[in-house]
Amino acid sequence: MKVGVVSLLQVLVLVLGLCVRSSSLASFGDQQRNRRKSVLPTEASSSLVLNRVGSSIAFPVHGNVYPIGFYNVTLNIGQPSKPYFLDPDTGSDLTWLQCDAPCVHCTEALHPLYRPNNNLVPCNDPLCKSLHPTGDHKCETPGQCDYEIQYADGGSSLGVLVKDAFSLNFTNGIQLKPHLALGCGYDQISGPSPHPFDGVLGLGKGKSSIGSQLSRQGLVRHVIGHCLSSRGGGYLFFGDDIYDSSRTLVIHVSEHYSPGFAELMFGGKTTGIKNLLIIFDSGSSYTYLNSQAYGALMPLVKREAEKSLKQALDDRTLPFCWRGRRPFKSLQDVRKYFKTLALSFTNGGKSKIQFELPPEAYLIISSKGNVCLGILNGTEAGQTVDIIGDISMQDKMVIFDNEKQLIGWMAANCDRLPKSKAVRI
Distance CA 372, CA 301 (A): 11
User: Are the beta carbons of 226 and 242 closer than 8 angstroms?
Assistant: no
DSSP E strand boundaries for 170-247: 175-176, 179-189, 199-202, 223-228, 234-238
User: Are the beta carbons of 61 and 390 closer than 8 angstroms?
Assistant: no
Distance CA 226, CA 23 (A): 41
What letter would DSSP give residue 352? E
Q: Report which of 9, 21, 37 is spatially closest to residue 185, judged by C-alpha positions.
A: 21
User: Are the beta carbons of 285 and 69 closer than 8 angstroms?
Assistant: yes
283 Cβ contact list (under 8 Å, min separation 6): 1, 2, 7, 8, 9, 87, 88, 89, 90, 91, 92
Strand (E) or helix (H) holding 341: strand 341-347
Distance CA 28, CA 403 (A): 37
Q: Report which of 308, 307, 326, 336 is spatially closest to residue 370, judged by C-alpha positions.
A: 326
Active site (catalytic) residues: 89, 281
Per DSSP, the chain holds a count of helices (H) and strands (E) of 5, 27
Distance CA 49, CA 51 (A): 6
DSSP E strand boundaries for 111-151: 146-150
User: Are the beta carbons of 189 and 151 closer than 8 angstroms?
Assistant: no
Q: Helix, strand, or coil here: 293?
A: helix
Task: Give 3-state DSSP helix, strand, coil % of the chain, rounded to 5.
Answer: 15, 35, 50
